[in-house]
Amino acid sequence: MSPIRRPAARRVAPVAAVALTAVMAGSVMTAAAVEAAGQVSGAESAATSKAALDFVVPVKTQSVQRFKGEPIALYGLGFYAVAPKTLEIRTDRGKSYKNPITTKLIVGEGDSKVTKTLPANITASPSTLTKFFDLKVTRAGKTVHKSKLDFCLNSDQQSRIAPDGAAESPYPKQCGYHPYAIGGLFGLPGGWSTPVFADWNNPLQFKGKDGTYTVEATVNKQWAKALGIPAAEATSKIKVKVKTVKEDQGIGFAAAEAGHSHGQQPAGIDPDAENLSPQQAQREMDRKAALGKPNVPAKTAPTGNRLGAAAVDDLPKPDLRSLPAYQIMLDTSSKKKKTYLSFGATVWNAGPSPLVVDGFRQKGKPVLDAYQYYFDKDGKQVGYTGAGEMEWDPREGHNHWHFRDFASYRLLDSTKKKAIISGKEAFCLAPTDSVDPNVEGAQWQPESIDLYTACGQGNANLLSIREVLGTGWGDTYGQYLPGQSFDITKVKNGIYYIQTIANPDKKLGEANYDNNSSLRKVKIGGKPGGKRTLKIYPYQGVKG
């Protein structure tokens, strides 16, 4: 799971040391001036800023500490985007992944709200604002790194900086990427800020010696024009002092919990490390702070108001849909000299109602009885139906509770009839990836977006659990997890289709059962029993 991606219940002090001056939109400000700017009301700041988004660096010189051999990671630097007025950016792919992405900019609220459609090629992904910054890093006047930097407003570290700004931000707090994302929503209330270098899973990093670097981030011309940012205010600068420290100066804790997307750890952090460098520790603390709150199940198994088919038909329901397989590759790591076709798969909920499943311990047994709960159009719980069982999965990469019969994987031959069926059928339900936050009933801030909180991680002794897949969200299982593969060691060469089926036995009530299956075409070659080859056909232009 890329998404999403997170309510920040706790915040931690940054590791980086800081100095006392500031750079705002390329011009120097004193720390007092920055503090004064933070006291400006939403209306006043709107009057003083014509741009839809400002960029602020409250401290001019910052420091990064690392262990020997580590790259320089520009994570957590004090570089912020500030919205003078409420700002929304909405993206939409339309009906095909081949379509250019439509992007709309909405600034202000009520009668003053202005909406405009941006150029069709301004972003290449609905999940992030691509190539938003032109980044240049120099040392002693020599350029050591240049790149295009994507940007996402939806950090879990969003914060209010004006006293009369909105008390809470209603916007998503997860940034991520999914190749089959359909839409995106980015937003900040007026008088709120979000950090720019806040991707703890994939931080911007480069190799270099200790010393002082200058980081320049320039909003590219297309985005600057769309947001009304003058050229003179489009560049922000930060001086970064890099120092290598000894390993005994690291932070003494391990990154033990599973991350988002079913087992994913932040890139570059050893999950078994007991002594993290300061720059790694900052990322790990922010990851832990972003863990979602556990969903709370009903106190006891339901005893009344079991709904019949007619009653369920009249209620809003989830709509489970399978996205085509991706992250497809051959895996020959088996000690038994077998070849596996591995893949990632996502089932998402197009709504309008969330999928809510509670499990309750069967007396004297290791499984839980599962029940699906239903809600009326106002979100009030009105009843339930039986939905099978939940089971404990002790395997590495899982170690949590799975709902049985959530999805099924099959490898179909060229006739789409004969199949190899994967042994995987049980899944932890969790909103790991935002697929389309613009559908009816979409939950912009689902409660439990991390497996550690969503699925009872590490606790086989639970009496009850609630697992939820919110509207607009997908549940992704990456290709590196047990069960995400087919044994193709001896299958014949030819065309095959990876089929993903959501809710295969229809144990869950849905609005539509006709969109539960997806196919991804591949070609298997080589020598059966020996070395195999694989060709992956694009799906509506999506590769990989």
- 176 in any annotated domain: yes
Side-chain half-sphere exposure of 50, counting CA atoms within 13 A: 8
337 lies in the same domain as 459 = yes
Q: Determine if the pTM surpasses 0.75.
A: yes
Q: Check residues 6 and 55 and name the one with the higher pLDDT.
A: 55
Q: Using one digit for the tens of pLDDT, what is the confidence trace for 515-534?
A: 999 999 999 999 999 999 99
Is pLDDT above 90 for 142? yes
For residues 223-243, average pLDDT: 97
387 lies in the same domain as 463 = yes
Strand order in the sheet with 517-526: 419-421, 407-412, 494-502, 517-526, 532-536
Could you tell me how many residues make up the chain? 544
- The sign of the CA dihedral 295, 299, 300, 306 is negative
60 lies in the same domain as 175 = yes
Stretch (H or E) spanning 34: helix 31-38
For residues 16-32, average pLDDT: 31
Cβ–Cβ under 8 Å, residues 404 and 391 = yes
245 lies in the same domain as 315 = no
For residues 481-509, average pLDDT: 90
For residues 91-114, average pLDDT: 94
Q: Which ranges of 203-318 would DSSP assign to H, the alpha helix?
A: 221-227, 260-263, 278-289, 309-313
348 lies in the same domain as 441 = yes
Query: In the prediction, which pLDDT does 146 show?
Result: 97
- 464 in any annotated domain: yes
Query: In the prediction, which pLDDT does 342 show?
Result: 92
Single out the residue in 249, 267, 298 at which a domain terminates. 249
Adjacent-strand bridge partners of 535: 523
The two beta strands, 235-244 and 61-66, are parallel
Query: In the prediction, which pLDDT does 33 show?
Result: 34
Query: In the prediction, which pLDDT does 270 show?
Result: 63
Locus of tokens 């499984």: 367
Closest CA to 23 of 228, 242, 204, 239: 239
Closest CA to 200 of 146, 262, 269: 269
320 lies in the same domain as 183 = no
Residue 102 CA to residue 434 CA, distance in Å, equals 17
242 lies in the same domain as 336 = no
70 lies in the same domain as 154 = yes
Q: Check residues 267 and 59 and name the one with the higher pLDDT.
A: 59
87 lies in the same domain as 205 = yes
- 286 in any annotated domain: no
Is pLDDT above 70 for 261? no
Give pairs for 218-221: CB < 8 Å, separation 24+: 218/133, 218/134, 218/135, 218/136, 219/55, 219/132, 219/133, 220/131, 220/132, 220/133, 220/134, 220/148
Based on the structure, what is the number of domains in the chain?
Answer: 2
338 lies in the same domain as 216 = no
245 lies in the same domain as 318 = no
- 293 in any annotated domain: no
245 lies in the same domain as 317 = no
Is pLDDT above 60 for 50? yes
pLDDT-based confidence at residue 336 (cuts at 50, 70, 90): confident
Cβ–Cβ under 8 Å, residues 187 and 20 = no
Single out the residue in 199, 217, 249 at which a domain terminates. 249
Residues whose CB is less than 8 angstroms from the CB of residue 476 and which lie 6 or more positions away in sequence, other chains included: 1, 2, 178, 261, 262, 344, 345, 346, 432, 433
Cβ–Cβ under 8 Å, residues 121 and 100 = yes
Q: Using one digit for the tens of pLDDT, what is the confidence trace for 394-436?
A: 876 667 788 888 888 999 999 998 888 776 666 788 888 999 9
Query: In the prediction, which pLDDT does 250 show?
Result: 67
Q: Domain of residue 240: give its range.
A: 21-249
For residues 51-69, average pLDDT: 95
Single out the residue in 216, 249, 282 at which a domain terminates. 249
Is pLDDT above 70 for 186? yes
